[in-house]
Structure 1
Amino acid sequence: MASPVSICWKQSLMEAATAIYDGRADVASEILTRLSAVPNPKGNSEQKLMDYMLSALKSRVSPVENPPPVAELFTKDHMLSTQSLYDLSPCFKLGFMAANLAILEAASEQPSANKLHVIDFDVGQEGQYLNLLHALSARQAGSQSTLKITTLADNFNSEESLRLVGDRLSELAAKMGVRLEFNIVSQKLSELSRDSLGCEPDEVLAVNFAFKLYRMPDESVSVENPRNELLRRVKGLAPRVVTVVEQEMNGNTAPFMTRVGEALACYGALLESIESTGARDNSERARAEEGLSRKLRNSVACEGRDRVERCEVFGKWRARMGMAGFESKPLSQHVAESMKARLSSGNRVNPGFTVKEENGGVCFGWLGRTLTVASAWR
């Protein structure tokens, strides 16, 4: 239950957001100044949420005095913060695992092929593929499996950082007896093709979009619409499966007031769930919370190309994938049951985390609120 103090804070913040939306910056500033004067120890998730939203609305009113995070979302620090979030939160960690299972199921549908090729547009750190290598190693029956990973270098993922990821994965693959090919390509969207990505006829081709699409500008930002262009290009590659894992939040084209309310609910649940997984003095938890602060502030304070955080709800992703020519490939009962089993194992099990199947996707949540959804397409 939210405390009376929390309800009061949220009401005041929503009043300030309403004033901003109505163009009454002076009223918003007065409310935000009053809220800033209230002592906030930032000791628990509620207090941190209020601090993050207060900072976001200040940036919205006075972006020169309170610059919102934009370039910071492309730094190594933010990448490490994001990785800490993925490691700490079962909602993210299990999303990656569900995508891996969907990829392995697609590979098993073509048993004659012993080569799996995954194209990933944002490998990030190697976490997802550590798990995939473990799974491939366990499934090997006599003949050695081959995993080829092709990833694209861009401003966020430089060739140097990707090469380090490839080196770490190659070392692990060798220990597990899996043959790994790790390829880095640097191409424009318009140049993507099966040939340019090194796709071969005797391999199972999978494309992995894990927390990638929401960061790409869409038609509301650019007439070029890179998000839809990428999906169309990927459809042209004719992959056996495309996996999508995204944060569940109506934060892209929603009106400003809806976006603020969604951010309070979604990031409040995320902060609360992280609070249940790591001690207060845990440095990884602190790093994850810093990343969430930047994400929330960017989502609320920025517009146009400066707004990097453009999360959608699963229903919108379903519509977008359909428009690009994809059909849903519902994740099997096995995937959902495997995720539930993982959630109930381990030393720090928390009943607040949930897993459920819905409309062909597997939803991961906290106390009834879905926070991430994994789905598969072809």
Structure 2
Amino acid sequence: MMHFNQTLRPIDVPMSKNQIVRARTWPDFPTSKSPVSFGEATCMEQLLVHCANAIENNDATLAQQILWVLNNIAPPDGDSTQRLACGFLRALIIRAAKTGNCKLLITAMANVHSNDLAMTNHKFSIIELASFVDLTPWHRFGFTAANAAVLEAVEGYHVVHIVDLSLTHCMQIPTLIESLAIRPEGPPLVKLTVVGATEDFPPMLDLSYGELGTKLVNFARSRNVAMEFKVIPSSSSSGFASLIEQLKMQHFVRTQNDNEALVINCHMMLHCVPELEIPNTDSSSLRTMFLKELRCLDPTIVVLVDEDADFTSNNLVNRLRSAYNYLWIPFDMVDTFLPRGSKQRQWYEADICWKIENVISHEGIQRMERLETKSKWVQRMRNASFRSVGFSEDAISEVKNILDEHAAGWGLKKEEKDLVLTWKGHNVVFATVWFPM
């Protein structure tokens, strides 16, 4: 993340002869790296909102003035609130550089440090990614809750087909294999199908899915579990259409075998399916159609884990407010356990800044981060003819145990039949389990 001190000035936009620039006054803001109070954080959010409005209204002069103010109060190495605002500052500059008169602000990107891009584009080794995922319960919460529910649902099945729709490159699977290996009735044959999405979004892996599959098959063999691995190239922009077609072809084979379970594991990937309308169909969107197609496969169980926020608004300001009031959580969280300057912290915050940039700077199919709240997903699943199933007490106990391994501030609450991970009382990630109706 760059700091724009040398590229932005209060007024630096060519003006026509008839254009009059009046100085705008701003409230007093700190220009040091001292911690930002709650009131100042609120003002910072308001500045970001005013800047977004100026960009949308094609007011390059006002936009640059606000960016200059933000640049002075949001250093990339400040406290958590300042670093959060710095992420939005960069995203707004990227958006401004593509918008009308604000294209003149492209000069503000001249000094982007190559190191910032390297942090975002870092490709993890398997060991690095496993360590990265284990840093917080952000992913572990969902892994643990989902695996516990899956183990109960596939009890007694000789074949377990897992369709892993996950952005974490199968990091959940080894623990599930170990649990299946020690089943009282013996381990099943595990068929693992994964989607090789074409979009390059973090975290990225430094090996191919073919190589990843070989490692997983060898790991399963070391636990005396037979495994078959298959990767289906697909794209979220098409609603994973090729995945559905492949699974339909396998559906007939499965119906001939009453002892094969189909597990659909959705871990923070379904929100990447575009919420775009489909003409000449009964389904209102790709997302709705995808869930209905999953239901037609008659899965044994569907587990849906995702982040509990709403980034779907077509209005930039509404989206900015939602993102700002959700993505403060990871910035606040890393301050509790990762030292400044550590590679892991840089990778973690680069991942969050990628989200901010995607939510703020892009539109159409380029905007992958289209989170929806738990309540919206619950309604979607019900509309697709799934029924909600609660978590067992054993599953809840396992989740509580992994939370005990992490910093204070994490919590767990039960909402009806669902589990929700919280940070300082705020919803972070939800986990839900579904059976076909």
TM tier relative to shorter chain: 0.7 to 0.9
Alpha-carbon distance change, 39 to 51 in structure 1, aligned in 2, over 3 angstroms: closer
1:97 aligns with 2:144: yes
Match of 1:127 among 171, 179, 198: 171
Q: Identity percentage over the alignment?
A: 25
TM-score, normalised with respect to structure 2: 0.75
The SS at the match of 1:299 is helix
Higher RCO (C-alpha under 8 Å, 6+ residues apart) = 1
Matches within 5 A, 1:236-247: 236-247=296-307
Aligned 8 A contact 1:120 1:150 in 2: yes
The residue that corresponds to 1:57 in the other structure is 92
The residue that corresponds to 2:79 in the other structure is 44
Aligned 8 A contact 1:84 1:288 in 2: no
The residue that corresponds to 1:265 in the other structure is 325
Q: When the two structures are aligned, how many residues end up with a matched partner?
A: 364
Q: Using the alignment, how far apart are the partners of 2:166 and 2:340 within structure 1? A: 30
The SS at the match of 1:118 is strand
Q: Using the alignment, how far apart are the partners of 2:123 and 2:373 within structure 1? A: 23
The SS at the match of 1:219 is coil
Listed one character per residue, the Cα deviations across residues 332-366 of structure 1 (whole Å, up to 9, x for unaligned) are 3332222012211x3xx322011111132211121
Matches within 5 A, 1:180-219: 180-186=227-233, 188=242, 191-196=245-250, 199=254, 200-219=257-276
Listed one character per residue, the Cα deviations across residues 22-78 of structure 1 (whole Å, up to 9, x for unaligned) are 5645423321122224472524322210110111222232235278xxxx9xx9637
The structure with the largest alpha-carbon Rg is: 2
1:77 aligns with 2:134: no
Q: Tell me, which stretches of 5 or more residues in structure 2 are unaligned?
A: 1-34, 110-116, 234-240
Q: Using the alignment, how far apart are the partners of 1:83 and 1:25 within structure 2? A: 44
Match of 1:88 among 114, 128, 135: 135
Q: Using the alignment, how far apart are the partners of 1:229 and 1:194 within structure 2? A: 14
For structure 1, which segment, 251-260 or 292-301, has the greater mean C-alpha deviation from structure 2 after superposition? 251-260
TM-score, normalised with respect to structure 1: 0.86
The RMSD of aligned alpha carbons is 3.0
Alpha-carbon distance change, 55 to 289 in structure 1, aligned in 2, over 3 angstroms: same
Aligned 8 A contact 1:29 1:61 in 2: no
Matches within 5 A, 1:109-148: 111=156, 113-122=157-166, 124-138=168-182, 140-141=183-184, 143-148=186-191
Listed one character per residue, the Cα deviations across residues 285-339 of structure 1 (whole Å, up to 9, x for unaligned) are 2112111101111112222112111011101111111222211122233322220
Q: Using the alignment, how far apart are the partners of 1:189 and 1:228 within structure 2? A: 16
Letter of the structure 1 residue corresponding to residue 391 of structure 2 = L
Alpha-carbon distance change, 309 to 84 in structure 1, aligned in 2, over 3 angstroms: farther
Alpha-carbon distance change, 59 to 175 in structure 1, aligned in 2, over 3 angstroms: same
For structure 1, which segment, 79-88 or 276-285, has the greater mean C-alpha deviation from structure 2 after superposition? 79-88
Q: Using the alignment, how far apart are the partners of 1:189 and 1:170 within structure 2? A: 21
1:11 aligns with 2:46: yes
The residue that corresponds to 2:29 in the other structure is none
Letter of the structure 2 residue corresponding to residue 195 of structure 1 = M
Letter of the structure 2 residue corresponding to residue 10 of structure 1 = E
Q: How far off its partner does 1:9 sit?
A: 2.3
1:31 aligns with 2:85: no
Alpha-carbon distance change, 185 to 257 in structure 1, aligned in 2, over 3 angstroms: closer
The residue that corresponds to 1:226 in the other structure is 286
Q: How far off its partner does 1:142 sit?
A: 5.8
1:176 aligns with 2:223: yes
For structure 1, which segment, 190-199 or 259-268, has the greater mean C-alpha deviation from structure 2 after superposition? 190-199
The residue that corresponds to 1:328 in the other structure is 388
Q: Using the alignment, how far apart are the partners of 1:288 and 1:294 within structure 2? A: 10
Q: How far off its partner does 1:12 sit?
A: 2.0
Letter of the structure 1 residue corresponding to residue 218 of structure 2 = E
The residue that corresponds to 1:372 in the other structure is 429
The SS at the match of 1:153 is strand
Alpha-carbon distance change, 181 to 131 in structure 1, aligned in 2, over 3 angstroms: same
